[in-house]
Structure 1
Amino acid sequence: MVDERELENGLTQGEAERRLKKYGANLLENKKRISPVKIFLSQFNDFITWILIVATIISGFIGERADAVTILIIVIMNAILGFAQEFKTEKSLEALKELASPTSKVIRSGKLKVINARELVIGDVVLLETGDKIPADCILMSEGNFMVDESILTGESLGVEKSTSGKNNSIYMGTIVVKGKGKAKVVATGMDTEMGKIAGMLQNIEKEKSPLKEKLSSLGKVLVVICIVICIMVTLTGMWRGQDKYQMFLVGVSLAVAAIPEGLTAIVTVALALGVSRMLKRNALVRKLPAVETLGCTSIICSDKTGTLTENKMTVKALYFNGKIHKLEKMSLPENILMKKAFTYCNDSNFDPKKKKVSEALMGDPTETALIKAFFKESKSLKDFLDKGSRIYDIPFDSDRKMMSVIMKEGLKKVCYVKGAPERVINKCKYILDRGQVKLFTAIEKNKALKSVENMSFDALRCIACAYKDKEVYANKSLENNLIFIGVAGIIDPPRSEVKDAVLKCKLAGIRPVMITGDHKNTAFAIGKELNICKSQSEVITGEELDKLNDKQLSGRVNDISIFARVNPGHKLRIVKAFKSKNNIVAMTGDGVNDAPAVKEADIGICMGISGTDVTKEASSMILLDDNFKTIVSAVEEGRVIYNNIRKFIRYLLSCNLGEVLTMFLTSLFYLDTPLLPIQILLVNLATDGLPAIALGVDPPQGDIMKDKPRAKDESIFARGLSEKIIVRGALIGVCTVLAFVVGLYLGFGLKTSRTIALCTLIISQLIHVFECRSEKHSLFEISLFTNIYLLGAVATSIFMLLCILYVPFLQGVFHTSPLGIAQWFIVLFFSGIIAFINGIYLYFK
């Protein structure tokens, strides 16, 4: 027996909290936990690093204890830095999983609340509707045409009908509501559910491999081989020339540790994770990391109209009945009681009678609440009206029928009320209500009604028609036939003020915004024209016209279409495929359960965070937390920023590493003394490769980033001249360092001081280059130094570290350096800055 009070009130908040403590969170156990110790130890999981550690331990036993201890300290500091990066990234990804976890609509203390599904407890009353993932094992307590996809448990692809009676009232965690709606009582949570018993593991954010990360990982392996070969050559050359064999072995290993870009893929992950965090602050929740890379390639954004391009703040502005359009501002309408009943009873809004005003008491879809607000202002009058009838059956709205129907019991009689798209409703009507009289709905009257709908749509009004019948009312397929037409409501949903600028930003960035809506062609065009999405009606196509085109014909026309009106979710999939057939990178929004195929097919599937169903969220790459088109554009911009930042630190890291390798290789080639000792090589690695590279990963966008055309999806990370920049700048760093070393020797400063000059030149030239890497188009003279405080902090830290080893007596002994005077600093600054200065002048005039 269903307890109506329990259905109405649910648990109290206090009782729910008590049960949550007693039974625990509604979660399936995840054995994959972040292990800080494991992450830290993984920093040493490198063959060359282990060789270096063993070599330094041996050097400690043979008397070089200071060098050995210092090298080990540097290795550990590098490991700590790597650990901090990786641990923060793992934590960020775990936090994103938490944010992307499903929510549930639950009744607590008589009020409807939306909570995280993990907070559900036994005894909770949850509201379920089409597209929802069932959050726990439940017993169905009330339902309307309820059907569930249980394939995740049974493997059976057909939907299973559920009812409130018998064994068929059980519904299970993880299954999907594919039809209808209802209320259910939670009977098991977490590992006590059927899903828990079969050890189902649902993860909301899959730990997918980034394609870019995989490419860089492959590149890294090639670079490792090249670096090792060069390091071996440097070592063998030094030994052949009679230098200390152990010292040269240590030089080779140290150079390999410094030169091999082992942090390349790690920094990509850091940049992606930090970028995802920034997107989250802009209301875009990324569910799959590879999507971040694809965002920067986006050339088409297919967006729903309602709530995304518009405010989703619906207001009824006009009503059509008795053959006339009535403007609501006049407030002198004759009351149409049947229209009032149709729009109030055939409605799924939730109502809290405790609140005085209807505007505060209603919750639900903005279209549905707007229809009720047009007829009621005070909650008491609405409550009295609702009490006069009781719903005994309904057919929920779906995107194919574009209608919703209910059967109401009013006293002793049953009445069916219908609302939906005007063309669909009018087509189902045989009669018309005209000034209280039921008449035959002639072709002339139907055309007049459709013409009025068209006129209302030219004013950007979204039109909803209503009808009824009070004879032959029973729940079967003929329920929605032979209806009596009542009238049409025209609802205004104004465009979001910020969307016009976002559309302009898209067009400047070479991205085409495309509107997809179920609304009338004229309504869509009026909004699209106001937002500058389109200029003429030739850019608008309807779902009916779409059905007349085969896939090849649609593909031929799709690049000329800016608005798709009166479409259903099935059309969305065709639209995505048509745009993709023209080599476009497509972002597609969706919210309903039937949108999921199109969202999944798109290069970037975007689900609405407010109105989106669980099914569509799981099919998506990204969730809009505010359902706003501007957020999509912000995410695309952020995607471009992240990709550019990855290019920046790849450019910096590989140039610097190439410079270090060439410094040692060239001096070896020309039979010069070794310009850097092992401990100095490792210091360069610590001072330049860590913090500055990470700081580039959070570099703010350049002002013109959204003026570039979208890049090709298969474009190499080294495209647009990046590889040339790396090779040329790396070679110049190496040559300038060697020249500084040679000049020091030539001027008679001695080997120790000349090595110090080379060390300073190598570090300072890399720290200057890090600022050059901030832009591929602008010179140092055009980039503001103060827009990335993290980079300034990183460079300042590296310079402070360098000055310490030069002027602190104890550290001079450890790192074998000499304090430099003005003359020596002139050499360092000249060779460190000359290339950047010349390059800056070249770019400035270019």
Structure 2
Amino acid sequence: MPYKIPESLKGLNDSEVVASRQQYGYNRINTTQKNGWLELLVDILKEPMLILLIAISVIYVIIGDYGEALFMFVAIVAVSAISFYQDNRSKKALEALEKLNEPLSTVIRNGKVLKIPTHEIVVGDLCITEEGKMINADGSIVHSNDFSLNEASLTGESLSVFKNNESEDNQVYSGTIVVSGLAVFKVEKIGAATRLGKIGSSLAEIKTEVSPLQVQIGKFVKTMAIIGIIIFLLVCLVNYYQTQNLLDSLLNGLTLAMSVLPEEIPVAFTTFMALGAWKLMQKGIVIKRSSVVETLGSTTVICTDKTGTITENTMHLKHLYDFRLDQTFDENDFGNDALSELINYAMWSSEPVPYDPMEKTLHRIYEQTQKADRRQNFQMIHEYPLEGKPPMMTHLFEDAGKNRIIAAKGAPEAILNVSSLSEEEKNRVGKFIKDFGKQGYRVLGVAKSDFKGQDFPERQQDFSFEFLGLVVFYDPPKKEIQKTFQQIYDAGIQVKVITGDNTDTTKSIATQAGIIHAENTIEGKEIMEYSEAELLQKAQEKVLFTRMFPEAKLAVVNALKQDGEVVAMLGDGINDAPALKAAHIGVAMGNKGTEIAKAAASLVIIDDDLSKLITGIAAGRRIYANIKKAVQYIISIHIPIIFTVSIPLFLGWVFPQIFTPVHVIFLELIMGPTCSIVYENEPMEKNTMRRKPRKMTDTFLNWKELGISIFQGLIITIGVLFAYQLMVQKGSNEEQTRAMVFTTLIFANILLSLTNRSFYYSLFESFKNRNRLFFVVIVLTLVLLFVILYFPAVAAFFKVSGLSFQDLGIAVIIAIVSVLWFEIYKLVKRKISN
């Protein structure tokens, strides 16, 4: 390969790396320490449920009920442990994601080129960077080739800056982007000491924008908390009016407040999102913000690149068209001497160290067909980077004898426009271009020029070019791509292809790949001419967007968003960054994606496999559905707890304090894991990926869904209070009545958690979706219930007595009737929908 890194560059040895790290530390901007035990304790004490438990414990100590005070203390530890376990799982998942998100940097150490995590760069390292990469430390250039940077992140100047080791300014800075070429720079500053570090240390203080679902859940929890406070005050006043006992009134009020507060919901949301992102990471999908998982399930439009996403990105050179001979040659004839000039100039117009697959192919064909390799004899003296609409690029080389080569290549239309051809000749070449395009080939035009002196034109288009011919590549669609697109369409998601390639080539490849309505095409230059209203219409109706440039891509994405679509944008280049950032979900490719594309994206597919996006969308739909199930379960089961605590108290029933904080906290300890651990593990229901995506504007729980949950809770309440009155009518004492009510509620809780696994399919259908955690939690709950009822010491503590086999059977029957009526509702729903 030409322009290899000089052998004199050896880099640091292992001992020098260690010494440098000891002196300057790691290459990290955010050096804040992990929370200590004091911060952790404060965070725990902020939990509303724990505040309630501590208050109840204090009251028990004051009234001398030390046994219940001790139980409350154990409950505080248990609730804290569950919160810590969930928080720890979430943090570990997010830390793993953060680690995988970290880009690798290329360094020279011990004379060898290595890839290392960016945070391991040390002062003194020799870093290698190339086109499309982001600089990850400050330093000075020691070797470069055709090297230019975009320093807009620091200077605000969008134009590229060319630099080398002899430039007056030979410094490179962290956060800037390599536009062209390659450079080796010696690291002088890392982490917070870099210019970016000094400017961006405040970035850590910027809060991440919360998702719509987070906002909705937050509002719901706050509403319930306010209701809890009102009920707490009401119960305290009513009870104090009846008993004139302040501590007893406070205890009853706190018991009811505990039953109202749905503290499981925020924990469940965090757990679902973090673990969802972690599971996707294991499948090769890196989520950079866990809340993106929620948005994935709402995707309505996928805007995909063509090259490397739909196609294999192999860029096999299939044909060469020589203009002077007016003849097309296939790959078996590339060694023909008549093609030497075309092959030469196609190679010279490429980057000396090729980055693009097509340019790598041109270098390889040059090596295979040319008798003498002249690349080491020539140095690039000037470059015009890829630009224009349509784009082209020009390179100027010179050897020691001042012999000069000026080579250009680019979109055929661009090369024809700058070449000295007649209209007839342009039309003749145009027919070849169109024929190649219809076959799905990628076509580039090649031209040469001659220029004396050093006063080069400001624009490459101002050279006088001689048209040489066409180089024709074929990049076939990936083997399974038709199946992937069919899955996307089955999920009710639109597909748009946004590419810089020409219309004929794109249409051919899109048709082969199974894109529907591939005949609906439009070019980037047309996009920019439309009014806002016209653009909204065109963005919806067109499928293939060709000859696209950054502004046009951004315009299409924004138009789709404005029209209410949830847009996933796939891109891999520097030019894709604005559209990636603007889309709801920016998707970058892990292998061929540039660092700037990965930085702009919110999701990275490690192996560039488009089908992984389907996996992500399915995960998003599953997680959203499961969060809804968990929240609806929590709402439904909280209602009977609230009414069972309050109604006997307000109506002056014979046993007004049927539940104490002990019973409520036991139920909370069962509901917490069911909500946040068991439902998180629930598999996706069948046909989930054959439904239309939900609208982002939909509220989390609409009135119908909320109404169903409330109705479920009220029916269970009727069943539990029926059990209460049944025992009273039988002449049972308070302990027996409490045992019956408590047991009925436990059985109803178990059945509710099972029937709410699906709000459409039957309970028996849901059993086909294996979720072992349900079995574990149910068995553990039943074992604990048995211990509470039939171990005398425990029964005395919970103030219950053992139930007879007949009473247990009645409790089960009441629970079944109170809960499983919902199966009839689901059956009717299925009948109507069919």
Residues 704-744 of structure 1: per-residue CA shift (max 9 Å, x gap): 11222122222111127211122101112222111122222
One-letter amino acid of the counterpart of residue 764, structure 1 = F
One-letter amino acid of the counterpart of residue 356, structure 2 = D
User: Is 1:715 equivalent to 2:698 in the alignment?
Assistant: yes
Aligned to 2:188: 187
Residues 615-665 of structure 1: per-residue CA shift (max 9 Å, x gap): 333333222323332222322222222221221111111111122102222
- State the distance in 2 between where 1:776 and 1:757 align: 29
CA contact (8 A) 2:390 2:547 kept: no
CA contact (8 A) 2:303 2:569 kept: yes
- State the distance in 2 between where 1:803 and 1:8 align: 77
Aligned to 1:434: none
Aligned to 1:44: 45
Aligned to 1:830: 813
One-letter amino acid of the counterpart of residue 417, structure 2 = N
Q: 1:168 to 1:383 in 2, by over 3 A?
A: farther
- State the distance in 2 between where 1:261 and 1:231 align: 15
User: Is 1:529 equivalent to 2:520 in the alignment?
Assistant: no
**Percentage identity across paired residues of the two chains:** 27
Aligned to 1:313: 314
Q: 1:228 to 1:739 in 2, by over 3 A?
A: farther
User: Is 1:461 equivalent to 2:461 in the alignment?
Assistant: no
- State the distance in 2 between where 1:290 and 1:692 align: 19
2:327 to 324, 329, 334: 324
Offset at residue 13 of structure 1 (A): 6.8
Aligned to 1:227: 228
One-letter amino acid of the counterpart of residue 421, structure 1 = A
CA contact (8 A) 2:485 2:514 kept: yes
CA contact (8 A) 1:509 1:707 kept: yes
Residues 159-205 of structure 1: per-residue CA shift (max 9 Å, x gap): 65544335411122233445665332222222443344567355599
- State the distance in 2 between where 1:743 and 1:31 align: 61
User: Is 1:741 equivalent to 2:724 in the alignment?
Assistant: yes
2:765 to 778, 782, 785: 782
| Structure-to-structure mapping, 1:52-131, within 5 angstroms | 52-108=53-109, 113-129=114-130, 131=132
Q: 1:636 to 1:40 in 2, by over 3 A?
A: farther
CA contact (8 A) 2:436 2:443 kept: yes
| Structure-to-structure mapping, 1:106-505, within 5 angstroms | 106-108=107-109, 113-129=114-130, 131-143=132-144, 148-150=149-151, 152-153=153-154, 162-165=163-166, 167-177=168-178, 182-196=183-197, 200-201=201-202, 207-238=208-239, 242=243, 246-321=247-322, 322-328=325-331, 333-334=336-337, 336-348=339-351, 350=353, 364-376=355-367, 384=373, 386-398=375-387, 400=389, 402-410=391-399, 412=401, 413-430=403-420, 441-472=421-452, 475-477=456-458, 479=460, 481-505=463-487
Residues 434-482 of structure 1: per-residue CA shift (max 9 Å, x gap): xxxxxxx443332222211221122211112222234537544365522
Aligned to 2:832: none
- State the distance in 1 between where 2:169 and 2:686 align: 60
Aligned to 1:11: 11
2:590 to 602, 609, 618: 609
CA contact (8 A) 2:59 2:251 kept: no
- State the distance in 1 between where 2:109 and 2:412 align: 38
One-letter amino acid of the counterpart of residue 385, structure 2 = P
Residues 580-605 of structure 1: per-residue CA shift (max 9 Å, x gap): 33222222222333322222222222
- State the distance in 1 between where 2:646 and 2:773 align: 33
Q: 1:479 to 1:102 in 2, by over 3 A?
A: same
- State the distance in 2 between where 1:710 and 1:494 align: 31
User: Is 1:843 equivalent to 2:823 in the alignment?
Assistant: no
TM-score, normalisation: structure 1 = 0.89
SS in 1 for 2:34: coil
Offset at residue 247 of structure 1 (A): 4.2
Q: 1:788 to 1:96 in 2, by over 3 A?
A: same
- State the distance in 2 between where 1:30 and 1:263 align: 32
Q: 1:225 to 1:734 in 2, by over 3 A?
A: same
Aligned to 1:591: 572
- State the distance in 2 between where 1:395 and 1:281 align: 43
SS in 2 for 1:265: helix
CA contact (8 A) 2:131 2:355 kept: no
Q: 1:477 to 1:143 in 2, by over 3 A?
A: farther
CA contact (8 A) 1:605 1:622 kept: yes
Offset at residue 269 of structure 1 (A): 1.5
CA contact (8 A) 2:12 2:124 kept: no
Offset at residue 209 of structure 1 (A): 2.6
Offset at residue 383 of structure 1 (A): 9.6
Aligned to 2:776: 793
- State the distance in 2 between where 1:786 and 1:290 align: 25
- State the distance in 1 between where 2:725 and 2:392 align: 84
Offset at residue 290 of structure 1 (A): 3.9
Aligned to 1:580: 561
Offset at residue 365 of structure 1 (A): 2.7
Offset at residue 301 of structure 1 (A): 1.0
- State the distance in 1 between where 2:121 and 2:820 align: 63
Offset at residue 135 of structure 1 (A): 0.9
Offset at residue 130 of structure 1 (A): 5.3
Offset at residue 377 of structure 1 (A): 5.7
Offset at residue 752 of structure 1 (A): 0.9
CA contact (8 A) 2:631 2:675 kept: no
How many residue pairs end up in the alignment? 819
User: Is 1:650 equivalent to 2:631 in the alignment?
Assistant: yes
One-letter amino acid of the counterpart of residue 695, structure 1 = V
One-letter amino acid of the counterpart of residue 518, structure 1 = G
Q: 1:552 to 1:687 in 2, by over 3 A?
A: closer
SS in 1 for 2:766: coil
CA contact (8 A) 1:392 1:409 kept: yes
Residues 205-233 of structure 1: per-residue CA shift (max 9 Å, x gap): 96433332233222212211222333444
- State the distance in 1 between where 2:207 and 2:116 align: 22
User: Is 1:506 equivalent to 2:497 in the alignment?
Assistant: no
- State the distance in 2 between where 1:29 and 1:693 align: 31
Q: 1:348 to 1:699 in 2, by over 3 A?
A: farther
Q: 1:39 to 1:690 in 2, by over 3 A?
A: farther
One-letter amino acid of the counterpart of residue 391, structure 1 = M
- State the distance in 1 between where 2:253 and 2:768 align: 36
- State the distance in 2 between where 1:209 and 1:148 align: 34
One-letter amino acid of the counterpart of residue 363, structure 2 = I
Aligned to 1:355: none
SS in 2 for 1:781: helix
1:685 to 665, 668, 672: 668
- State the distance in 1 between where 2:8 and 2:814 align: 79
CA contact (8 A) 2:441 2:472 kept: yes
RMSD: 3.1
| Structure-to-structure mapping, 1:535-546, within 5 angstroms | 535-537=517-519, 539-546=520-527
SS in 2 for 1:787: coil
Unaligned stretches of 5+ in structure 1?
Answer: 351-362, 431-440
Offset at residue 73 of structure 1 (A): 0.7
Q: 1:569 to 1:54 in 2, by over 3 A?
A: closer
CA contact (8 A) 2:523 2:547 kept: yes
- State the distance in 2 between where 1:576 and 1:482 align: 38
CA contact (8 A) 2:297 2:693 kept: yes
- State the distance in 2 between where 1:16 and 1:450 align: 60
- State the distance in 2 between where 1:504 and 1:802 align: 50
TM-score, normalisation: structure 2 = 0.90
- State the distance in 2 between where 1:248 and 1:799 align: 32
- Bigger Cα displacement from structure 2, 823-832 vs 20-29: 20-29
Offset at residue 8 of structure 1 (A): 6.8
